[in-house]
Structure 1
Amino acid sequence: MAKVELACDAQCDLGESPVWDDATGTVYFVDINGKTIHAFVPATGAHNTITLDQAVATIVPTSRPGTILAALEREVVEVDVAAGTTGRVLATTPEAHGVEGLRFNDGKVSPQGSLLVGRMHTKWREGKRGRLYRLDPGSSEFGEVLSPEEVYLPNGMAWDEAKGVVYFADSGTETVVEYQADAQGIPRRGEDGRLLARTVCRLPSEHKYVPDGLTIDNAGNLWIALGESSTIVCIDSQTGKELQRVTLPVKRPTACTFGGEQLEHLYITTRVETGADASPNHGGLFKVTIPGVKGVAAAYKFPL
């Protein structure tokens, strides 16, 4: 029943972090390895890019139209979309947390306006672990949310405001976890210091088809990009059972978000394929439309 279309032939090396900005009608996404931010306007087909001097892992919209935040290797910076330039550095990760082999990964803004962003190690397959940080509005310092002992490869996230929870994909453990959220939408701990969490699902594949980026629909179900699998899977957030699977015309999906005026489309980023059997339009941005399926809310914005 799903209709799958190529939305934008972006030719990304490592497309990631799609986000719908309802204020401008734009799907923003990044090419991490290409050090590029992409801005695609479905209504007109306009496609513009901004090239930076560092790998750019994720972007989020802000309360100031035309300004987005970009998480680079260690810094979160403002980006003026029209000018195509970076501006103020909001925060930088501590030197004590390491530099070599580490970079930011997926991130999103909570309903309350805090940025939740993961940092990964490029040698994660060798057991090197990352961290999860928070950046609150008005702050110039990151706070640690999950330590390396508590997270492996931090990835996609989504909030269910009615339940007061945040869902989080850890690609290293191949799990999706539900955390009870605090007043800022950040995973919280009990009086004993332990995280208030439960595992929604495990998707074991020996790191072949890892859960990557994810989003949530208006029925509270999770849509998860399974890397290297050619598929996006829908999971019941209560039971962890698979409800639906959408097959894509490319092998390497990375992340997804709902967009469109009624959040009726699922936009999916992909990454490069090599060899004689590479799929047409690999590295492109795809659009999936599924009757009756819509997003729950437009992307939350970081207050500036």
Structure 2
Amino acid sequence: MDPEIIFKKIDDLGEGPTFDEKRNRVYWVDIRGKKFHYLNLDNSEMKTFASIGMISSIVPTDSNMMAATVDHGLYLIDDNGKHTLLIEVEKEQKSTRFNDGKADPFGNYVAGTMDLEEKRPIGSLYVLTGKTIRRILDNLTISNGIAWNTKKKVFYHIDTPKRRVEAYSYDSRMNIERMGTAVDFRNEVGNPDGMTIDAEGNLWVAHWGGNRITVHDPEKQKKIDEIKFPAQNITSCVFAGDGLHDLYVSSASNGNADDLGGSLFRVKTEYTGSRTFVFSVP
């Protein structure tokens, strides 16, 4: 599984690739660059739009819109890049911002916040349903990777400095209860960032500072595969395209001219991904 460069060094802090199956697009963001992109898989055309702030995650919706977390807000964004605010959280808190987020199996937007200094556990994980919001986890420092195993009813979440993937049971309202550690990163290179899940329930975890993605069976707590990249800071990934075999991978610059961080990569795999969920527009 060799990575292929789709777009070379176009981002400062590339993050959060996601798949819009209905429109056959891959979305991703550049948090520090305050911009987002989409790649049309039908014709390989890529478009880039400026955001109104630090856009940290973007998801498909059940309408012809995108939804995104920007700074402290959840927005709808149309194909011309116009942002429409739905709701804000922690807007009085100058030391946090939204980080990773995804639509859940029930049409909600699950997204977490982080300490801008990446030191204090002042972040939280939220469920945004329409125009209402509810906190489901707190005391987080860098709320990060998110995934659901819908067959086993397990929700996975990463708080990066803890260097592990935690497993939670969940219900239709995203009430969660901790089940234990699914992936322990103590013997891994770098820190866990974003992640996705395949059809067999394996977790694909991006390594910030580790130039790789590792694949883990969370039930056996066993690493089963690994992909290395010519970029130190690998940030997240998603399965996309016909059959969900292609893995699209985001990365961030590390300031080294020889490092290919900031590129969007694609890896053709023999695995099959899980479908990306969509946000239900209120």
Q: TM-score range by the shorter chain?
A: over 0.9
**Cα distance, 1:290 vs structure 2:** 1.9
- Matching of residues 241-252 of structure 1 within 5 Å: 241-252=222-233
- Could you tell me whether the CA contact under 8 Å between 1:120 and 1:154 is conserved in 2? yes
**What's 2:76 paired with?**
78
Q: Who is 1:134 aligned against?
A: 127
CA distance in 2, matches of 1:282, 1:232: 14
Deviation at 1:289, TM superposition (A): 1.3
Question: Could you tell me how far 1:79 is from its partner in structure 2?
Answer: 0.2
Structure 1 stretches of 5 or more lacking a match? 189-194
Greater strand fraction, Structure 1 or Structure 2? 2
Q: Deviations over 1:100-120 (max 9, x none)?
A: 121100001111111110000
| Counterpart Cα distance in 2 of 1:228 and 1:239 | 25
Q: Secondary structure at the match of 1:57?
A: strand
Give the superposition deviation at 1:73: 0.7
Quick one: distance in 2 between partners of 1:72 and 1:303? 18
Q: Which has the larger radius of gyration?
A: 1
SS at match of 1:7: strand
CA shift digits 1:175-225 (9 cap, x unpaired): 1011101113x242xxxxxx332111220279x711000000111100000
Residue 162 in structure 1 maps to residue 151 in structure 2: yes
* Alignment deviations for residues 261-294 of structure 1 (CA, whole Å, 9 cap, x no partner): 1111111000113235x32x43111001122x01
Residue 203 in 1 paired to residue 185 in 2?
Answer: yes
1:188-199 aligned within 5 A: 188=176, 195-199=177-181
For 1:1-304, what aligned pairs fall within 5 Å after superposition? 2-9=1-8, 11-65=10-64, 67-81=65-79, 83-87=80-84, 89-95=85-91, 98-124=92-118, 126-137=119-130, 140-148=131-139, 151-184=140-173, 186-188=174-176, 195-204=177-186, 209-276=190-257, 278-279=258-259, 281-291=260-270, 293-297=271-275, 299-304=276-281
Q: Is the partner of 1:127 in helix, strand or coil?
A: coil
Instruction: State the number of aligned residues.
Output: 281
Superposed CA RMSD in Å reads: 1.6
Q: Does the residue aligned with 1:147 lie in a helix, a strand or coil?
A: strand
**Letter of the 1:209 counterpart:** G
Query: Matched residue of 1:262: which SS?
Result: helix
Deviation at 1:57, TM superposition (A): 0.6
| TM-score of the aligned structures, taking structure 1 as reference length | 0.88
What letter matches 1:109 in structure 2?
A: A
**Which SS does the other structure have where 1:246 is aligned?**
strand
Percent identity over the alignment is 29
Check the 8 A contact 2:3/2:229 in 1, yes or no.
Answer: yes
Point out 4+ residue stretches in structure 1 off by more than 6 angstroms: none
The residue that corresponds to 1:191 in the other structure is: none
Shift of 1:249: 1.8
* Structure 2 SS opposite 1:249: coil
